[in-house]
Amino acid sequence: MGVLVQPAKAASTSTDSLLSAPVVIPDDVFWDKQWYLRAVKAPEAWAVTTGTRDVIVAVIDGGVDINHQDLRDNIWTNSKEIPGDGLDNDQDGYADDVHGWNFVTNSPDVRPVRQDTQLEEAWSHGTIVSSLIAAKGNDGRGISGINWNARIMPLVILDANGQGSVENLVSAMRYAVNHGVEVINLSLVGYDYEPELEEMIKRANDAGVVIVAATGNDEIGDGLDLDLAEGYPVCLDGPDNRVLGVSGTDKNNRRAPGANYGKNCTDLTAPGDNIFAARPSYPHDTKPTSTVPGFHDGYSGTSLAAPLVSGVAALLKGIHPEWTPKQVRQRILETVDVWDEHAQEPDSLGKLGIGRLDAGRALAPDRVVAVNPKPTTSLTKATKAVSKVVKAPAKNQKRKPTSK
């Protein structure tokens, strides 16, 4: 276990005295670089739980370096599948799918594929996201995921350029649901409405799966207002707010550069700027390269914010396995560090969700639950965006207007 210490004082100005709870500090060597976990009060949450292997989080993304030193212990294994016999032993439609599936190459190899043309961001994306959710915590090396023990199910739909099809996204979500995941992380966004995706989100939610999606990033300007042009899947809430939409913030708790926002689709924020995370530990091109460090600093994008929320959802499911997705969402949203509206920029005022993720409060066991967590003033939902690299491809070019 990590070191159990008492915080000198609560860092928040919140009147919630529960923040004086003990904290757990892991011994991972790069812990000092993980400011974002301290910001969301992960050490307070870890005093309650550090996660369980019973909980599976599907990472529908680019390839994942499943042999990475800080990930290999927390990769899901399909126990019903015999590796390498070329057969679909569990008859789920996929042969040899031992650690998920690559829907791009239609193969069981979920690792990032070496290509000359590979974009570094696309190469690293799935590994970064996975490490933020569940890098092995307190193992003396690398970083700590916000969840130390959850298992990652890598489902690859993004190619070397960080793009993928909605068709594969739907297939990957179906795979995740059929294999009993508790959480699906979607650090990707597209701007074309697809009814098949909306239907799949409904089915996943009905099956008890918590769906977390990034709001996306605007590569050209300084973030899109999704109230003006919806992004998907983040805006596919349906009647029951089925998708936890996550925008990104920086070290000063301001909207991260380029992060999308908007009142309708953003539920909350989490840190998504200057993030230290794992990346693949082998080079992405064929040029002679010395060994690649398996960690890197300075990543930005809402793709990095969503996994922190997914990891907390997985922590909650670990100690409340009976909770419905709605209950998980409610706990996360009613315990956020609520926005001080004066601290927000005018353009995104009221459009960054209810506040920033607070893992410590979300996991506090004796927390009194508010009857109505919704803010009464302008502190309503806001939107933000996903990482640049993760754009779902446009099947058609129409841009759906805001209302749905």
From residue 332 to residue 351, what is the string marking binding to Ca ion with x (rule CB under 5 A)? --------------------
Binding of Ca ion by 198 (CB under 5 A): no
From 345, 401, 403, 386, select the one nearest 163 (Cα to Cα). Answer: 386
Orientation of helix 325-334 relative to helix 302-319, angle to 10°: 110
Which residue number, 10 or 292, has a Cβ lying nearer to Ca ion? 292
Q: Which residues 266-325 are close enough to bind Ca ion by CB under 5 A?
A: 267
Alpha carbons 131 and 346: distance in angstroms, whole number: 33
Q: Which residues 254-273 are close enough to bind Ca ion by CB under 5 A?
A: 267
| Residue 130 beta carbon to Ca ion: minimum distance, rounded to whole angstroms | 13
Three-state SS string over 225-250 comes to ECCCCCCECCCCCHHHCCEEEEEEEC
Binding of Ca ion by 70 (CB under 5 A): yes
| Residue 373 beta carbon to Ca ion: minimum distance, rounded to whole angstroms | 14
- Single residue of 36, 76, 94, 339 touching Ca ion by CB under 5 A: 94
Which residue number, 117 or 372, has a Cβ lying nearer to Ca ion? 372
Binding of Ca ion by 142 (CB under 5 A): yes
Which residue number, 36 or 94, has a Cβ lying nearer to Ca ion? 94
Binding of Ca ion by 139 (CB under 5 A): yes
Binding of Ca ion by 145 (CB under 5 A): no
- Enclosing H/E stretch for 3: strand 3-5
The residue count for binding Ca ion (CB under 5 A) is 16
Alpha-helix runs per DSSP H in 103-179: 120-134, 166-178
Sheet harboring 210-214: ordered strands across?
101-102, 151-156, 56-61, 183-186, 210-214, 243-249, 268-271, 355-356, 337-338
Beta bridge partners of 293: none
- Single residue of 133, 153, 158, 243 touching Ca ion by CB under 5 A: 243
Q: Which stretch binds Ca ion (CB under 5 A): 34-42, 44-52, 233-241, 343-351?
A: 233-241
- Single residue of 115, 241, 281, 327 touching Ca ion by CB under 5 A: 241
- Single residue of 16, 27, 90, 222 touching Ca ion by CB under 5 A: 90
| Residue 87 beta carbon to Ca ion: minimum distance, rounded to whole angstroms | 8
Q: 303, 133 in Cβ contact below 8 A?
A: no
- Single residue of 16, 27, 88, 222 touching Ca ion by CB under 5 A: 88
DSSP string of 365-380?
A: TTPPPPS--S-SSS--
SS3 99: coil
CA-to-CA separations, 393 to 41, 54, 158, 163, 268, in angstroms, rounded: 36, 33, 10, 6, 25
Which residue number, 2 or 142, has a Cβ lying nearer to Ca ion? 142
Binding of Ca ion by 73 (CB under 5 A): no
| Residue 30 beta carbon to Ca ion: minimum distance, rounded to whole angstroms | 8
Alpha carbons 8 and 394: distance in angstroms, whole number: 51
Binding of Ca ion by 353 (CB under 5 A): no
What residue type is assigned to position 237 of the chain?
A: D
From residue 20 to residue 39, what is the string marking binding to Ca ion with x (rule CB under 5 A)? --------x-----------
| Residue 388 beta carbon to Ca ion: minimum distance, rounded to whole angstroms | 22
From 218, 337, 367, select the one nearest 271 (Cα to Cα). Answer: 337
Alpha carbons 19 and 5: distance in angstroms, whole number: 13
Which residue number, 314 or 364, has a Cβ lying nearer to Ca ion? 314
| Residue 312 beta carbon to Ca ion: minimum distance, rounded to whole angstroms | 15
From 78, 99, 76, 103, select the one nearest 89 (Cα to Cα). Answer: 78
E strand map for 28-169: 56-61, 101-102, 151-156
Interface with Ca ion by CB under 5 A: which residues? 28, 70, 81, 88, 90, 92, 94, 97, 136, 139, 142, 237, 241, 243, 245, 267
